[in-house]
Structure 1
């Protein structure tokens, strides 16, 4: 059986890992050396499933009801790009910010190189400034 297309892999990634809040699925989609650009503290790169799971857990601990909607996906060979919206309620302090109870919606885009159903490299950009403003960490 052939692996899913890069577009289908990206959609499944958001559904299984983020929407179902299932860190155990990260290994299904990442190689040990998967490179994720700009996800670490201060915009540094991170490598591998364990580093990503630490990033993921901070967000799962901060937002009890993350729901990501993937709007469009464009695929070209092994490269795939998707535009998405995340809606969530700030209920925990996983990001070091006391819970505000605020409902937050942010937009973002993900670009990934996917080979045989495995994310090998990814670039993610989302409205970090909008998130910080919504949580009150910087003035609006």
Structure 2
């Protein structure tokens, strides 16, 4: 029988080898993945999400540096994500950012609820401003509130 941490470790290996089929093997068919980039439901949308990451950052790598092993469920991990932005990435509003050639190092945390050896919900948290600042984008101003 595999433990929740076995599933998380298998997912980590699949992510770091950019193995989308391996990633999907960790998720239940109707899993929900929530991140600052949006919500993905089911294998097709989750695969698309990971393909976007791997396409935008072909050398993307996730390094786990803290696993809250004393928790039963969810399995919570703190990560450092690194990579070089050479391909396009899609913003939540639908715009695309072409590759900038910049390296990123972003801190992240995720909580995965695992049932029956599969991830059923996965919530990913990272600071979008930290990411976009490293890509060379800053705050450009704030639109005034509508009256």
Range of TM-score over shorter length: 0.7 to 0.9
Is 1:77 aligned to residue 75 of structure 2?
A: no
Is 1:11 aligned to residue 9 of structure 2?
A: yes
Correspondence for 1:20: 17
Q: When the two structures are aligned, how many residues end up with a matched partner?
A: 134
Indicate if the aligned counterparts of 1:57 and 1:94 stay in contact, CA closer than 8 A: no
**Please, which runs of 5 or more residues in structure 1 have no aligned partner?**
none
Correspondence for 2:81: 86
SS where residue 136 of structure 1 aligns? coil
SS where residue 43 of structure 2 aligns? helix
Is 1:37 aligned to residue 34 of structure 2?
A: yes
Indicate if the aligned counterparts of 1:39 and 1:55 stay in contact, CA closer than 8 A: no
The structure with the larger Rg is: 2
1:41-60 mapped onto 2 (5 Å cutoff): 43=38, 45-60=39-54
Indicate if the aligned counterparts of 2:40 and 2:49 stay in contact, CA closer than 8 A: no
Higher share in helix: 1
Distance 2:66 2:126 in 1: 15
Spell out, residue by residue over 1:44-69, the C-alpha distance to the aligned partner (whole angstroms, 9 max, x if none).
x3211111111111111111101110
**Please, which runs of 5 or more residues in structure 2 have no aligned partner?**
91-95, 141-147
Distance 1:131 1:87 in 2: 10
Q: How far 1:102 sits from its partner (Å)? A: 0.8
Indicate if the aligned counterparts of 1:62 and 1:99 stay in contact, CA closer than 8 A: yes
Q: How far 1:139 sits from its partner (Å)? A: 4.1
Distance 1:98 1:27 in 2: 27
TM-score by length of 2: 0.82
